[in-house]
Amino acid sequence: MDVWGDCFTIAKWQQYVAETLESAGSTPVFNINPKDVREFDAIFLGGGAAGRFGAAYLRALGGRVLIIDRWPFLGGSCPHQACVPHHLFSDCAAQLMLERTFSGQLWFQQSKDKTVSIKSIIEFFRRGRVGPHAVMNYQSKEQLGLEFVLNAQPAIIDVHTVQVGDRQFHAKNLVLALGAKPLEPGMPGSQLKGVFNSQTLVENLDFEPGNTAVVIGGGKSALEYGCFFNATGRRTLVVARHQIMPMLKDAESRAYAILMMQEQGMEFLENAEVMEIQGDAQGRVRSVSIKTSEGITHVDTDFVFMGLGELANSEQITQTLDLQKDDKGFIKVNRRMQTSIPHVYAVGDVTGPPMEMFKARKEGVCAAKNIMGQTSEYKAADYPDFMHTHYEVCWLGLSEEEARQRYANVKVMKLPPDNPNGLDVGLPAGDRMMLYLMAKPRMSGFQKLIIDGDTRKILGAFHIGYGAKDGFQYLNYLVKKGLTIDDLADMDELFISPSYFIQLCRLRAGDPHFNDM
């Protein structure tokens, strides 16, 4: 199907994507300008965050670019199987925690013993995701003027030639933006019905999980999806080979985040390993065997979720191109996003961690600049980060422990303040925290700012609550530029804001030798 020149509305794209996903139809959609006779400066294989942003930037610089993707939409895994479902599930977890906490109080219905259907939330997502897909296609075609081929199975003929069906496309450069997929551990029983990862959960779940979820892994996906399962009312056991939540380096912040998960009933087995998943006669999960320091334990369940990291989508491509990869299959690139083969670039998850949207998009842009004759280098460093539990957890810079190793005069400001009677202190309470503040203050969040007392520069910041993610994106930029306690004290807070850093700094900034708070 050729669509260049036809105005596809968002509604029309929505219908097309829904029907194509439903039917698994294999007819490609060609959106190619027949009047443009220029050779393509680049073909982007993969139109996810990395490919779409790279292509858009390349076109903005005056180049001609073609995106080819196997899916019938642009935007990649983020809206289809990753960030968007993750945020939906985390929204559900936050809402369900609120309802359970206030069950039977104020206007809240009784919901303490209610189990919420995971299957219906997944089906809800599957129906709804075509909305973002349609917007990505509309924006790319009508607003950004991008040329693309969707729903395609591209074959690489050589570094400059890609074929879809019987059409060949030639370009000066090839950009691999193929993304990654969940790691499959291959433990006994991992193929049984009832074992899922972040992709298969949203694609394949077709039964209502019982009352126990076993989650394997201790990183972001494992905990994010685990908290969601827990919030739906299921016993949730997280089994991690090492420590859970290793990415949250500040010990006190991590302890609060873990305590809040435990108070919701999350169970953690650290330094433990799932040895085998047992099935029943129909090939469905029945139980798991877990090895801990105390021996082997068995847990009955019909639902296992694996959050074990990602593997590059590079196998197919490296059958044709002899690219250098690392031991996990991630394509090696230099800071200009150039691979080991001239004129071949790689961007986004296919180049390895950090697997984050900003990194994928910025690598795409970096490749585009280099292709168009600019000199651009990129390496993700000193970036802010976040994950969900039932809360949103944000962090940037150094933990208190790291700061104390590097600086002699570290000062800390935090809320709630240290309290001999524990966490039940009526502050902090930013956005979405007021109900907790009044009834269960310990649930109303935690925040911490780490400062070098000598230079007065901010070294790190941590926030567990809701609504601080937006601020952390900008805060990190300022911290990298040398933001001080005095600069923060000079800002204008939109009171009551999720992070109290501005007001805490203002309370202390007048003092040349300010103390902890």
- 132 interface partner picked from ligand KPC, ligand FAD, none, CB below 5 to 8 A per type: ligand KPC
Question: Of all helices (H) and strands (E), which one includes residue 20?
Answer: helix 10-23
Residues 6+ apart with CB under 8 A from 197: 182, 184, 305, 306, 307, 308
Residue 76, by phi and psi: left (phi above 0), alpha (psi -120 to 50) or beta? left
For residues 454-491, one letter each, b for 16 or more C-beta atoms within 10 angstroms of the residue's C-beta and e for the rest, the string is eebbbbbbbbbbbbbbebbeebbeebeeebbbebbbee
Does 325 bind ligand FAD (CB under 6 A)? Our answer is no
Of the candidates 50, 96, 398, 403, which one interacts with ligand FAD according to CB under 6 A? 50
Find the shortest distance in angstroms from Cβ 430 to ligand KPC: 23
Find the shortest distance in angstroms from Cβ 359 to ligand FAD: 7
Which range of residues in 65-73, 236-244, 332-340, 472-480 is near ligand FAD by CB under 6 A? 65-73
Judged by CB, which is closer to ligand KPC: 49, or 164? 49
Catalytic residues: 74, 78, 83, 133, 495
Find the shortest distance in angstroms from Cβ 327 to ligand FAD: 19
- 349 interface partner picked from ligand KPC, ligand FAD, none, CB below 5 to 8 A per type: ligand FAD
Find the shortest distance in angstroms from Cβ 123 to ligand FAD: 18
Find the shortest distance in angstroms from Cβ 49 to ligand KPC: 3
Which range of residues in 32-40, 45-53, 142-150, 441-449 is near ligand FAD by CB under 6 A? 45-53
Judged by CB, which is closer to ligand FAD: 153, or 292? 153
Judged by CB, which is closer to ligand FAD: 47, or 279? 47
Of the candidates 83, 159, 341, 496, which one interacts with ligand FAD according to CB under 6 A? 83
DSSP codes joined into one string, 362-414: HHHHHHHHHHTT--------S--EEEESSSEEEEEE--HHHHHHH-SSEEEEE
Residues 6+ apart with CB under 8 A from 328: 311, 312, 352
Judged by CB, which is closer to ligand KPC: 177, or 410? 177
Does 316 bind ligand FAD (CB under 6 A)? Our answer is yes
Judged by CB, which is closer to ligand KPC: 68, or 216? 68
d(CA 334, CA 355): 17
DSSP 231: H
Which amino acid appears at position 176 of this protein?
L
d(CA 289, CA 465): 35
Does 154 bind ligand FAD (CB under 6 A)? Our answer is yes
Does 164 bind ligand FAD (CB under 6 A)? Our answer is no
Judged by CB, which is closer to ligand FAD: 73, or 256? 73
Burial of 425 (0-12, 13-18, 19+ CB in 10 A): middle
- 260 interface partner picked from ligand KPC, ligand FAD, none, CB below 5 to 8 A per type: none
Which range of residues in 100-108, 124-132, 287-295, 349-357 is near ligand FAD by CB under 6 A? 349-357
Per CB under 6 A, residues contacting ligand KPC are 49, 52, 75, 78-79, 84, 132, 136, 357, 361
d(CA 177, CA 94): 33
- 50 interface partner picked from ligand KPC, ligand FAD, none, CB below 5 to 8 A per type: ligand FAD
SS3 sequence of 234-250: CEEEEECCCCCCCCCCC
Of the candidates 8, 14, 47, 133, which one interacts with ligand FAD according to CB under 6 A? 47
Judged by CB, which is closer to ligand FAD: 352, or 428? 352
Find the shortest distance in angstroms from Cβ 107 to ligand FAD: 31
Residue 392, by phi and psi: left (phi above 0), alpha (psi -120 to 50) or beta? beta
Q: Which residue, 504, 503, 468, is CA-closest to 394?
A: 468
The three-state secondary structure class of 125 is: helix
- 245 interface partner picked from ligand FAD, ligand KPC, none, CB below 5 to 8 A per type: none
Does 79 bind ligand FAD (CB under 6 A)? Our answer is no
**Hey, what are 397's tokens?**
């810079």
Judged by CB, which is closer to ligand KPC: 88, or 450? 88
Of the candidates 67, 178, 337, 344, which one interacts with ligand FAD according to CB under 6 A? 178
Does 51 bind ligand FAD (CB under 6 A)? Our answer is yes
Give how many residues touch ligand FAD by CB under 6 A.
Answer: 31
Find the shortest distance in angstroms from Cβ 120 to ligand FAD: 20
Does 72 bind ligand FAD (CB under 6 A)? Our answer is no
- For the range 274-277, what are the long-range contacts, defined as Cβ-Cβ under 8 Å and sequence gap of 24 or more? 274/187, 274/214, 274/216, 274/239, 274/304, 275/187, 275/188, 276/187, 276/188, 276/189, 277/187, 277/188, 277/189, 277/190, 277/192, 277/195, 277/304
Residue nearest to ligand KPC (CB): 49
CA distances from 115 to 107, 345, 449 (A): 20, 48, 38
d(CA 21, CA 130): 9
User: Do residues 277 and 290 touch, judged by C-beta distance below 8 A?
Assistant: no
Of the candidates 130, 177, 192, 215, which one interacts with ligand FAD according to CB under 6 A? 177
For residues 146-160, one letter each, b for 16 or more C-beta atoms within 10 angstroms of the residue's C-beta and e for the rest, the string is bbbbbbbebebeebb
The footprint of ligand FAD (CB under 6 A) covers 45-51, 68-71, 76-78, 82-83, 86, 154, 177-179, 198, 221, 313, 316, 348-349, 355-357, 360
